[in-house]
Structure 1
Amino acid sequence: MKEKKPKVFAVSGIKNSGKTTLVEQLVTRLTQLGYKVGVIKHDGHEFVADHEGTDSYRHKAAGAKNVIVYSKTKMMMVQEHEEPSIEKMIAYQKDMDIVILEGMKYSAFPKIEVVRSARSKESVCDPETLLAIVTDVPLETSVPLIGLNDIEGVLEIIKEKILSPLN
């Protein structure tokens, strides 16, 4: 039996451009439409998954290389390793229909970029990878421009360019 691979695209843009808000809205709507959605977020800074004082932090401080914390409904694994490949992280999401990458503006993945007048006023992504730009700025571009609050417009692009083979 062939293993299912999720459809993958990125929501990109500069820091504080509104990527997380757009991803949150997309996850909500795609889930309402019946898709199983996973998210992989790139953090340009080293983050602490478990903070000082927690048992898992204490285990890591004592020298554990892997720590898994779980409950009845969740699991989190903190693992020391070299920078993981995006392909490996996508493989962890193999049961999903769709995986949204937050960030990854310089990757080869198809992407929707957020450009806001309050931040940059220009696209920073490779035009060859852009599906659309979500913006409040009039830009000269060959890809569709979608208003910041037009989540249905963004969904139409995703359905047409990313999901059409799933339908």
Structure 2
Amino acid sequence: METTKPNVIAISGVKNSGKTTLIAKIVAALASEGYKVGVIKHDGHEFAADHPGTDSHKIKMAGADAVMVYSATKLMLVRNLDETVAFEDLLKYYADMDLVIVEGMKHSSLPKIEVVSNHAKAICTANVIAIAAPASVATNAANTPIIDRNDVNAVLKYIRKFI
């Protein structure tokens, strides 16, 4: 049996442009239609996946290279890596998804919707299929469709091309 790769699209933009808010709306709309949607949040900095005071954090701080917390229906793994992880390797965890939304990766070759805030200009350079901006904002994007980022149905129109 051949494993198929999930459809992947990035929602990119500068910090505080509204990426997470838009992604939450997209996920809610697609989940209500029965789609299985996964999200990968890219963090260009080191992040803290666990919080001080929890058992798993205490164990990680003691020197564990990997800590997994799981229940009957979910899991979280925090693991130190010996080398940089390739984005493509992450997709194996999402093989059963209809769509994977990546938050960030504005300079990647992924097809992307760039989110632009009230005071920013479009900055992504490759594979932008649409720019999601407030209706009052004009961008400097030539030949790229501009959609109202508050109109989830308009955003979904572009995403549906991939699912």
**Partner residue, 1:108:** 109
In the alignment, is residue 159 of structure 1 matched against residue 150 of structure 2?
no
Distance 1:102 1:83 in 2: 18
TM-score, with structure 1 as normaliser? 0.90
Cα deviation, residue 4, structure 1: 2.2
- Could you give the per-residue CA deviations for residues 43-94 of structure 1, whole angstroms, max 9, x where no partner exists? 2222111122211112112221111101222210010003311111122111
Question: Partner of 1:133: helix, strand, or coil?
Answer: strand
Distance 1:63 1:37 in 2: 34
Distance 1:61 1:151 in 2: 42
Letter in 2 for 1:36: K
Q: Which structure 1 residue ranges, 5 or more long, are not aligned?
A: none
Are 2:111 and 2:129, in contact at CA under 8 Å, matched by a contact in 1? yes
Distance 2:122 2:111 in 1: 14
Question: Partner of 1:92: helix, strand, or coil?
Answer: helix
**Partner residue, 2:65:** 65
Q: CA-atom RMSD, angstroms? A: 1.3
Distance 1:2 1:133 in 2: 35
Are 1:112 and 1:132, in contact at CA under 8 Å, matched by a contact in 2? yes
In the alignment, is residue 98 of structure 1 matched against residue 99 of structure 2?
yes
In the alignment, is residue 8 of structure 1 matched against residue 8 of structure 2?
yes
Distance 1:109 1:146 in 2: 19
Letter in 2 for 1:60: K
- Could you give the per-residue CA deviations for residues 85-133 of structure 1, whole angstroms, max 9, x where no partner exists? 1111122111111000000000000000011223x1x11111x401100
Distance 1:144 1:106 in 2: 19
Q: Which structure 2 residue ranges, 5 or more long, are not aligned?
A: none
Are 1:5 and 1:97, in contact at CA under 8 Å, matched by a contact in 2? no
Question: Partner of 2:94: helix, strand, or coil?
Answer: coil
- Could you give the per-residue CA deviations for residues 134-157 of structure 1, whole angstroms, max 9, x where no partner exists? 012123421111012111011111
In the alignment, is residue 123 of structure 1 matched against residue 122 of structure 2?
yes
More displaced 10-residue stretch of structure 1: 64-73 or 99-108: 64-73
**Partner residue, 1:89:** 90
**Partner residue, 2:18:** 18
Equivalent pairs, count: 159
TM-score, with structure 2 as normaliser? 0.92
**Partner residue, 1:27:** 27
- Report % sequence identity: 50
Are 1:12 and 1:102, in contact at CA under 8 Å, matched by a contact in 2? yes
